[in-house]
Structure 1
């Protein structure tokens, strides 16, 4: 199962949010972090992609980024097709 989490970060907070993400993720390469190339003025849309991260990774990263997220975190699960 794969987990996709998306949310918005203010442009002005992007550097601090990225530092918090990296610190919470630690040495692990999971989750991957992506962003949309364009977005509403002053906001970036980010997406965390979890394919094999430990179960505690998502809540730990959510807590670390809480101060920089504008709005809500949206979580979606996907499973492989047989």
Structure 2
């Protein structure tokens, strides 16, 4: 999966061109048992790769809290859309830009996580400041 962000949080070049944030970014967090973490990570990697393959502008990541609590891990999926001039020239396919509802493709892709979830998936949306 591609990531246009540097460790300090600033944007960096994507495919050699400046990345431009174009839409709502989504942050989805939830809890899973630490014992199930390898299976959950594999499932999320699988569906995020499929989503990114379907949309060249989508950047997806999976993160976790650095510490577990009572054998429970908190994971966070992130989704952002970036673009650059080459994408327009290539005629890249895109999922519809989310405004303001989480894209159905992400909801459907994550349905396989249900057996491992310890509660709901919490969804947060953020938009660019300028």
Of 22, 44, 65, which residue of structure 2 is paired with 1:36?
65
Of 6, 10, 15, which residue of structure 1 is paired with 2:38?
15
Q: SS at 1:64's partner residue? A: helix
Structure 2, unaligned runs of 5 or more: 1-23, 53-57, 82-93, 96-102
TM-score by length of 2: 0.56
Hey, what does 1:4 align to over in structure 2? 27
Question: Which protein has the larger Cα radius of gyration, Structure 1 or Structure 2?
Answer: 2
**1:12-45 CA distance string (max 9 Å, x none):** 1111111111222235373200000013111110
Hey, what does 1:46 align to over in structure 2? 75
Find the aligned partners of 1:61 and 1:34 in 2 and give their Cα distance: 17
Alpha-carbon RMSD across the aligned residues, in angstroms, is: 1.9
Structure 1, unaligned runs of 5 or more: none
Structure 1 runs, 4 residues or longer, greater than 6 Å off: none
Report which of the two has the higher share of strand.
1
Structure ranking higher on relative contact order (CA contacts 8 Å, 6+ apart): 1
* Number of matched pairs: 82
TM-score by length of 1: 0.84
Q: SS at 2:59's partner residue? A: coil
Find the aligned partners of 2:34 and 2:124 in 1 and give their Cα distance: 24
